[in-house]
Structure 1
Amino acid sequence: MKTKTEGAFIYADESGNSGKYIFKEESPIYYQGAVISVGNIESKVKPIIQRYCTENGLERLHGYELGEERVNNLCLDLLEALEGTQWQFHYTIIQKRYIAATKFVDTVFDCWDNPAVHPFWYTTELLRHTLCILIDDMMEDNLAIEFWNYYLKDDLNGLIKICQTLLEKAPYIFDKRACEVVTEGLDYAIKNPDIFTLISAKGKSAYKKQTPNIIAFSSLLTATHRFCKEYEVSVSELIHDQSDEFKGTMKEYHKMFFDVDFEEDKFGGIPKFKQVEYDLGTFSLESSKKSYGLQVVDLFLWLIQRDIKDKNLQETKIKILNNSDEFIISRSMSLAIIQARQFQLMQQELTPDMIKKAEALEKKIEAARQAAMQK
């Protein structure tokens, strides 16, 4: 891959830090934001931030301390300073309680572990998100909280108990095929508890890998690869706002997974993974006092989070969104993905040859699944 001399610089910050506590009513949403740019933006934004801090006796900029009018004026100045720079604002939004449903699906309905689940139901976006919505619907009466506690403790008996409770609810699933998949998948898990891959309590910090913080960090690594491919650059530096709780896990994830990228399947199927061919630069955690880029992210992220009524602030928010890339995990996003994939499939013209190949593939998959069930 040809790369330009200047590499990509990534400045990332977060808001709504939750760790393993995903059911706090006062903080239901987790946000992460990052400015990704070709070249270092520090020298471009430094004069604006320094001047404002000096005039107002501030050590650094925090959106929540400044108020809407000041944030608006600062963002406009910063956007003007970034003109001529190739940059993008990547943000992640996670509905924290919905993580419980997605983790349950990953734990119980992973077709590679549970042969009772047809691979299409786990490997395609349309059907996997359908499972997530069904499980979220069924996890009422604090069942999601119970599951999450068992999950973080690697409590196998507790997980089986949750499966048994959900199995009692499964007959009420309206869609016949979905009812079969959920019923058969839960029943197999209950009868074959060895399929559970328990990873949350294997080590003092293992649970951190299951949190919104690390899910968002993973999405940032993927977004960085997209940016690098688009602008044909390597990575120079990734700077994340300091996090005492997650610094070790972030460094581990950066080391283990950052050199792998994937190409999405156009129908939402299994992506193709491959090793990247460019330099990955350095990774560091810093205080925003030392990074003007991190302070820019703080202001942009503060603005993105808010339901704004002021017209001027709305226009500024739109300017940022027009140059943004998003990753969202939520119930409403799952429903949107289901609707979009259904529409996509309905519009797809299927040739006789495509149908013939699909039937042959289905027979092969089903034979392998039945063989696995009989082991």
Structure 2
Amino acid sequence: MGAKASKNSHDFDKPGTYVYADESGNSGKDIFSEKSPIYYQGAILSVGEIDNVVGPIIQRYCDENTLERLHGYELGEAIVNRICLDLLKALEDFDWQFHYTAIEKRYMSPTKFVDTVFDCYDNPAVHPFWYTTELFRHTLCILIDDMMEGGGDEAFWQYYLADDVDGLIEICEILLERAPHIFDKRACEVVTDGLQYAIRHPEILTLVSAKGKSAYKKQTPNIVAFSSLLTATHRFCNKFGTSVSEMIHDQSDEFKGTMREYHRMFFGVNYQDDEFGGIPLFKEVEYELGTFKLESSKNSYGLQVADLFLWLVQRDVKDEVLKKTKSLILENSDNYFISRNMSLAIVKARHHQLMQQDITPEQIQAGKELNKQIVANQLRKMKK
């Protein structure tokens, strides 16, 4: 539990934050299913609990449609639209937000490869800037995704989940043969040096996925999305100066233990993004973290609201009326995406941001000196 802060920053007498989270696009370790390429998570975050306000609305529609609980896919667009409009009206007196996560599941393979092989804290052949800054890390992810074409991504994922060192080295060797085709000279050097070091030093290929029958779950889209929800909850609490009262996630038998572990171990720490996409600053949160519950949506009206909003937001709607309702939800939302297209967008945005900066000759010289120190430190580590 984080230590309490003064009431100047968080008012412990006001209603706490309630989080109601739902998911769709079943995943687990199978990230290459063509039937379900995207994993989605949606959550309502509110100051104060909303069940008493949204409950009568949901119960009315349950009665009208002879349902035990509301699911978007059972109702159809027209009914979901009416329900969502009623719910949005009911939430007008609340401070609330919808958090939306979408993960292109297959893209987790190249990104996990980058984390495994090109982590500069394990691989001294990789210049720290290429792993710790968004511009270069996402560049690596895109390059590795391209180089894994033809089944390399699926092969790596199987080797990774099995902690198969020989298989991981085999993937590194295949990618090393393809590295000379990288157009950018510096990127080619970084990828080549990083792969060569990993092949010579397979001990850097951290083995965690097969240690225990549940260890693989930490590598899944489900837990990546859950981590993004924890971070979104911190942002929400800081914005409204509240503590957390309850975090309620739709029941998940497969991931309940891992979710509880992540909530216990990581929820007490938040981070602040670096202005230029560099290393974030981590610090312990200064408010109560509340309780974490896994419940059936039968027992939580708030979870049913999250389900309905998520069902609508993830759809590519054509109807203009439905588009307007969807936009009303998105106007009061934040999101977290993992996909190749998002990596491309981040690279483009960060490159543009850096190109717009005015850099003095003194800053350029200081940068050169820092780079000399970094390279010298890399060489020392590689000689050990």
Q: Same fold (TM over 0.5)?
A: yes
Q: Which residue of 2 aligns with 1:209?
A: 218
Does the residue aligned with 2:92 lie in a helix, a strand or coil? coil
Runs of 4+ residues over 3 Å off in structure 1: none
* Distance in 1 of aligned mates of 2:338 and 2:161: 20
Q: Does 1:250 align with 2:259?
A: yes
Does the residue aligned with 2:99 lie in a helix, a strand or coil? strand
Q: Which residue of 2 aligns with 1:129?
A: 138
Q: Shift of residue 356 of structure 1? A: 2.8
Q: Does 1:43 align with 2:52?
A: yes
Q: Which residue of 2 aligns with 1:83?
A: 92
Q: Shift of residue 357 of structure 1? A: 2.4
* Distance in 1 of aligned mates of 2:153 and 2:65: 47
Q: Which residue of 1 aligns with 2:38?
A: 29
Amino acid at match of 1:108: V
1:289 paired residue among 287, 293, 298:
298
Q: Shift of residue 54 of structure 1? A: 1.5
Q: Does 1:194 align with 2:199?
A: no
* Distance in 2 of aligned mates of 1:176 and 1:194: 28
* Distance in 2 of aligned mates of 1:16 and 1:116: 38
Q: Among all aligned residue pairs of Structure 1 and Structure 2, give the percentage whose two residues are the same amino acid.
A: 70
Does the residue aligned with 2:230 lie in a helix, a strand or coil? helix
Q: Shift of residue 352 of structure 1? A: 2.7
Does the residue aligned with 1:306 lie in a helix, a strand or coil? coil
Q: Does 1:351 align with 2:360?
A: yes
Amino acid at match of 1:113: D
1:321 paired residue among 306, 330, 335:
330
Q: Which residue of 2 aligns with 1:218?
A: 227
* Distance in 2 of aligned mates of 1:247 and 1:357: 49
Q: Shift of residue 353 of structure 1? A: 3.0
* Distance in 1 of aligned mates of 2:370 and 2:240: 38
* Distance in 1 of aligned mates of 2:60 and 2:150: 53
Unaligned runs of 5+ in 2: none
Alignment of 1:137-156 (within 5 A): 137-156=146-165
2:115 paired residue among 98, 102, 106:
106
Unaligned runs of 5+ in 1: none
Amino acid at match of 1:19: G
Q: Does 1:20 align with 2:29?
A: yes
Q: Does 1:310 align with 2:319?
A: yes
TM-score, reference length from structure 2: 0.97
* Distance in 2 of aligned mates of 1:10 and 1:353: 48
Q: Shift of residue 17 of structure 1? A: 1.5
Deviations 1:278-325 (A, max 9, x none): 000000000000000000000000001111000000000000000000
Q: Does 1:265 align with 2:269?
A: no
Deviations 1:100-146 (A, max 9, x none): 00000000000000001000000000000000000000101111110
TM-score, reference length from structure 1: 0.99
Q: Shift of residue 84 of structure 1? A: 1.8
Q: Shift of residue 55 of structure 1? A: 2.1
Q: Does 1:172 align with 2:181?
A: yes
Amino acid at match of 2:261: E
* Distance in 2 of aligned mates of 1:99 and 1:182: 18
Deviations 1:326-356 (A, max 9, x none): 0000000000000000000000111233223
* Distance in 2 of aligned mates of 1:125 and 1:28: 24
Does the residue aligned with 2:317 lie in a helix, a strand or coil? coil
* Distance in 1 of aligned mates of 2:234 and 2:366: 33
Q: Shift of residue 361 of structure 1? A: 1.5
Aligned length: 375
Amino acid at match of 2:183: F
Does the residue aligned with 1:129 lie in a helix, a strand or coil? helix
2:124 paired residue among 115, 120, 128:
115
Does the residue aligned with 1:112 lie in a helix, a strand or coil? coil
* C-alpha RMSD over aligned residues: 0.7
Does the residue aligned with 2:247 lie in a helix, a strand or coil? strand
Does the residue aligned with 1:353 lie in a helix, a strand or coil? helix
Does the residue aligned with 1:33 lie in a helix, a strand or coil? strand
2:240 paired residue among 231, 240, 255:
231
